[in-house]
Amino acid sequence: MIDAAKQAVSGVVGKIKKFVLTAQQNLAMQLLTSDATDIALGGGSRSGKTFLLVYAVVTRALLEPNSRHCILRFRQNAIIQAIVMDTFPKVMELAYPGVYDPKMLNKTWWFYTMPNGSEIWFGGLDDKERVEKILGNEYATMYFNECSQIPWQSIKLALTRLAQKTGLSLKAYYDFNPPSKRHWTYKIFLDKESPETNKPLLKPMDYAFLYVNPLDNSDNLDPKYLERLDALPPKERKRFYEGQFSEENNDALWSEEVIEVCRFLPDEKKVLPDMVRVVVAVDPSGCEGDEDDRSDEIGIVVVGLGTDGKAYLLADYSGHYGPSTWARVTADAFENHLADCVVAEANYGGAMVKHTIATANDKIPVKMVTATRGKVVRATPVAALYDVKDQKVKHVGFYPEIEEQLCGFYPDGYKGLKSPDRADALIWAITELFPGLIKAILDPEHAWRPPKVISNPKRASAYVNSGTPGLPTGRRR
């Protein structure tokens, strides 16, 4: 397939540049061109998975004129930054030098047109309107990038458009850093079971999987980077260095199973209740802007308290923003969701945080909160509100980044790879909406309780005279 694609563009390319794949990457390429219809590469960080799969998509596009292909991720901004502006042009220049032309990238609809008329579309699955535009087409290839963040429902919907009739066989590609064994990627590609029914797949041979790990790509990585991965805590090392699926840990404050039970997906029969209160919570950091990957993200979430007494996670606007940008994002969230106030952590320059928000909108009421306890102490009572029986908190839709961070909280500390900025913002918001419940969980002995009701008998015969001369006084026993 690859040689045929190179021959197809030989009229455009002066000389095909050769690059060397490692032994494991060659196995991956053989798998990607096999008879399997759904093929996944799973493994640790920087193992070359994304490069190989973009390479496969590009090759198929060049092989079949006027064909259509797509590369999808959960977040639109993430795929533009990571794939469109980085991996895709690098693959084109390295594999097919002379073919890539920046002018052929349509930045309105986000698709690239090849010299033979084929198109590669790029999109996020986090916005309903955007998804409808992307899925208005049929495709010969679909590549789902970073599947640990993509809900199965989104995958299932997208696959209905893997239907373009061309000279190519239809292919769906997937990649991911292996999450827990409860995730749909493990159920489909390792257990060969349906993630919905847990029954065996009808055609298990159509689903293929290969581990590709950083050590398999060591020729292309700085040794210091591998040393850093090797030195990670056990849980993160297993996922990002060894590329292994993790066991579900019952000690975690949150689990994927509990979060799934607490998910709320509105439809014609299920509608959101009216909101009594809505708050925007902000967890600031020292981030300087979009390109500042060294700093933590700014956590910005919107949570409402429904008339049914439950808290609803309504939106997540977190990201790498400079001060003026995150202030504007916060103000827009406040206005768009008709919020009551903004709750912001004061530990990272309280006065500065309040002033920054005021520069975007000085009419927004801001409540500063101070972290006097550790993250886990603050998180524990909030996790209790997710109890499967009461379900005091609901997630409206899917929030993979927040949910992954929540599952990183343990009784002895937070064990995620990066700071739980999004989860921290969510915890502040829920604490603001349920102050009494949080206090009761933290200090049950001093929690407020309704006064004891003293009831007296209603029968007149139960009483005797209390002061009339000549009659007995006191109450009958």
pLDDT (tens, 9 = 90+) of the chain, 477 residues, equals 555 555 544 444 434 456 788 899 999 999 999 999 999 999 999 999 999 999 999 999 999 999 999 999 999 989 999 999 999 999 999 999 999 999 999 999 999 999 999 999 999 998 777 788 888 999 999 999 999 999 998 999 999 999 999 999 999 999 999 988 889 999 999 999 999 899 999 999 999 999 999 998 898 889 999 999 999 888 788 888 998 998 766 688 998 889 989 999 888 788 999 999 999 999 987 666 555 555 689 999 999 999 999 999 999 999 989 999 999 999 999 999 999 999 998 876 667 889 999 999 999 999 999 887 788 999 999 999 998 788 999 999 999 899 989 988 989 888 776 789 999 999 999 999 999 888 888 766 555 566 666 666 666 666 555 555 665 555 554
- Distance in angstroms (rounded) separating the CA atoms of residues 2 and 18: 12
Q: What is the pLDDT of residue 14?
A: 39
Which two structure tokens, joined as six digits, stand for 21?
């794949």
Contact 297, 319 (CB under 8 A): yes
Contact 42, 177 (CB under 8 A): yes
Which phi and psi (to 5°) does residue 211 adopt? -80, 130
Q: Which among 260, 216, 200, 298 is positioned nearest to 42, based on CA atoms?
A: 216
pTM: 0.76
CB atoms within 10 A of CB 415: 15
Q: What is the pLDDT of residue 9?
A: 47
Question: Which residue in the block uniquely carries the two structure tokens 């193992």?
Answer: 47
Distances (CA, A) of 356 to 82, 179, 368: 29, 37, 13
Helix 435-442 vs helix 421-433: crossing angle, to nearest 10: 100
- 445-453, Cβ contacts within 8 angstroms, sequence gap of 24 or more: none
Residue 171 CA to chain centroid, in angstroms? Answer: 25
β-bridge partners, 397: none
Q: What is the pLDDT of residue 348?
A: 66
- Distance in angstroms (rounded) separating the CA atoms of residues 52 and 29: 7
Q: What is the pLDDT of residue 13?
A: 42
The one-letter amino acid code at 88 reads F
- Distance in angstroms (rounded) separating the CA atoms of residues 159 and 90: 27
The contacts of residue 472 (CB under 8 Å, 6+ apart) are: 464, 465
Burial class (CB within 10 angstroms; exposed 0-12, middle 13-18, buried 19+) of 122 = buried
Contact 71, 57 (CB under 8 A): yes
Q: What is the pLDDT of residue 292?
A: 55
Which phi and psi (to 5°) does residue 248 adopt? -70, 120
The one-letter amino acid code at 333 reads A
Q: What is the pLDDT of residue 12?
A: 41
- For residue 168, the surrounding DSSP H or E stretch is none
Which phi and psi (to 5°) does residue 74 adopt? -70, -45
The one-letter amino acid code at 266 reads P
Contact 136, 130 (CB under 8 A): no
Distances (CA, A) of 434 to 91, 171, 199, 438, 451: 50, 48, 41, 6, 21
Specify the 3-state DSSP secondary structure of 293.
Answer: coil
